[in-house]
Amino acid sequence: MPVSADLSRVQAGLWLAHLNPDGAEPREVQAMQNRGFRFGREQGGLIPVTGMLMPETAAAAKRVIDAYMSPRTAPVAFIDEELAARGETRDPGDTRTPDQKRHDIFAVIVATAAKAADTPTIAGDAPTVLVSVRQEDLAANRGVGHIDGVETPISMDAVRQMICAGGLQKVVLKKNGKIVELGTKERTFNRAQRRAIMLRDGGCIIPGCDIPAAWTEIHHVWPDRDGGPTHTSNGVCLCWFHHRTIGTSGWEIRMIDGSPQIKAPPWIDKTSRWRPATKSPTRLTDQLEQTHGN
């Protein structure tokens, strides 16, 4: 019976460990010396990441990422009416490769860790990514933003997403660099608001997305730049990817009496109907009772 290269490699490793039971320890000592993780210089708008992980670290990271790359989240190109009625339509517009999905999951892991209460602070504040943008560019929705510590400029869409998720603090500089006005942080949902929205939505509200509520960003349904309030009745849970692409993906969100509804793009749902958007077990139970009676 033919044996695959991967299986042969595993079997060889097992035989080596059996024949040399003391070999793992010096090998691990060398591995501890060689472990590392680093960021490279920008290439084509991306920051390369390289390094060598200890086996247990790699296994833990892989397990977390794999948990959110389950085949049950794979997009399909049809709508089942019964599933759609429960808000379980899938998104054939999500054409991300496995590597792209791993990137996006990594993005939410890092963002979630930065917000954790026990995360070490920097100068007394939680780790915060600082982005500078000219006021006139922000108002006109043009130009680029600049991230502190990163040479590559980012698009205005990326700036908008970061403001929507993390808030905005106005700093006015004179041409000579003197700070002449410093505003307070605004447009950001506080912890109590986040908890309430997360409890209501139960995760990223885009059907077919399994990112849990704790890993999501809070999106202003009525854009904050247009005067939308930073209030629970105007915020919904979106994962990093769906937040970044909400303006171009075709998904539409609205709030009815403080509760989110979602409409799929016409190539997913030809009925173009608005449907309740939630993954909260308690709210799903309420919906079932309303649909089928007590």
Same domain, residue pair 114 and 225:
yes
pLDDT the model gives residue 69: 78
Going from the C-alpha of 203 to that of each of 87, 212, 232, 236, the distances in angstroms are: 13, 4, 15, 9
**Residue among 261, 277, 250, 273 nearest 95 (CA):** 250
Alpha carbons 18 and 12: distance in angstroms, whole number: 10
Residue 4 lies in a domain: no
pLDDT the model gives residue 218: 92
Same domain, residue pair 207 and 274:
yes
Same domain, residue pair 214 and 164:
no
**HSE, side-chain direction, 13 A CA sphere, residue 46:** 6
Phi/psi of residue 132, nearest 5 degrees: -110, 140
Same domain, residue pair 177 and 286:
no
Same domain, residue pair 178 and 198:
no
pLDDT the model gives residue 15: 60
- Give the residue numbers spanning the domain of 110: 81-119+189-292
pLDDT the model gives residue 224: 79
Other CB atoms within a 10 A radius of the CB of residue 51 amount to 10
Residue 221 lies in a domain: yes
Number of domains in the chain: 2
Same domain, residue pair 238 and 153:
no
Same domain, residue pair 156 and 280:
no
Same domain, residue pair 85 and 156:
no
Phi/psi of residue 259, nearest 5 degrees: -120, 135
Same domain, residue pair 209 and 248:
yes
Tens digit of each residue's pLDDT (9 = 90 or more) over 217-261: 999 999 877 888 989 999 999 999 999 999 889 999 999 999 999
The amino acid present at 53, given as its one-letter code, is L
Same domain, residue pair 258 and 203:
yes
Say what the pTM is: 0.68
Among 165, 182, 199, residue at a domain's last position: 182
Residue ranges of the chain with per-residue pLDDT less than 70: 1-25, 70-93, 119-127, 168, 170, 172-174, 180-186, 283-294
Same domain, residue pair 100 and 195:
yes
